[in-house]
């Protein structure tokens, strides 16, 4: 594969793995990246051919170039949270956002973050997950300001990668806080917000 090659990605159809790969390629400077909407499930449902042949991959002279615009660190996320220099989206389910459940030691969300779960980006069509139309997705993110940067996070980076992919297509300047809640929620000195304490530390 060359740096200018068109890359088409697909997964089981629920976008988490494929969006994470999309984000990773963007971080490493690859611009020509597309997703197969509905993934492998949609391909099968459409009756397109499949194969069990494993392609032979040969090494290439591919040279990645880091693009920091797609990646947010803990320091940058903390700065954005305290200064409102960027809009922060928590892409986890609502129960995790308000602190009813957590995959980290602490429960809640990053201060100033708004909750837009990643599942709002797609819907089931005849049992196959498909991205909503651009018009519907614009409504999902209607509260955001396109002139202001967006930082998306979740637990480990897959849900936020879906948000990143969608917002990139909608014309937002968006990055992923890759450490996510697993990093922030396990860091005892960082501020958190949950439903029982609006400023718990």
Q: Which of 110, 154, 176, 182 is catalytic?
A: 154
Q: How far apart are CA 170 and CA 16, in angstroms?
A: 18
Is 24 catalytic? The answer is no
Could you tell me which of 22, 187, 159 has the C-alpha nearest to residue 89?
159
DSSP per-residue letters across the chain:
--TT--EEE--SSSSHHHHHHHHHHHHTT---EEE-TTHHHHHHHTT-----PPPPP----------GGGEE-HHHHHHHHHH--SEEEE-S-HHHHHTS--SSSS-SB-TT-EE--GGGGEEEETTEEEEPPHHHHHHHTTTS-TTS-EEEE-SSSHHHHHHHHHHHHTT--EEEETTHHHHHTT-TTS-EEETTEEEE-
| Catalytic annotation, residues | 154
């Amino acid at each position: 594969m060359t740096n200018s090659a068109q890359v088409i990605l697909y997964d089981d159809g629920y976008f988490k793995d494929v969006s994470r790969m999309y984000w990773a390629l963007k971080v490493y400077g690859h611009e020509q990246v597309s997703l197969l909407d509905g993934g492998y499930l949609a391909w099968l449902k459409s009756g397109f051919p499949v194969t069990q042949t494993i392609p032979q991959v040969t090494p290439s002279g591919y040279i990645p170039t880091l693009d920091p615009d797609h990646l947010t660190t803990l320091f940058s996320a903390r700065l954005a949270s305290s200064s409102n220099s960027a809009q922060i989206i928590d892409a986890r389910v609502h129960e995790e956002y308000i602190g009813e459940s957590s995959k980290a030691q602490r429960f809640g969300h990053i201060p100033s973050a708004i909750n837009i779960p990643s599942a709002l980006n797609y819907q089931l069509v005849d049992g196959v997950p498909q991205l909503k139309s651009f018009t519907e997705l614009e409504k999902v993110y209607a509260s955001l300001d396109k002139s202001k940067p967006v930082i998306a996070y979740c637990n480990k980076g897959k849900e936020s990668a879906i948000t990143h992919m969608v917002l990139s297509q909608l014309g937002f300047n968006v990055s992923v806080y890759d450490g996510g809640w697993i990093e922030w929620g396990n860091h005892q000195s960082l501020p958190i917000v949950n439903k029982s304490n609006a400023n718990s530390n």
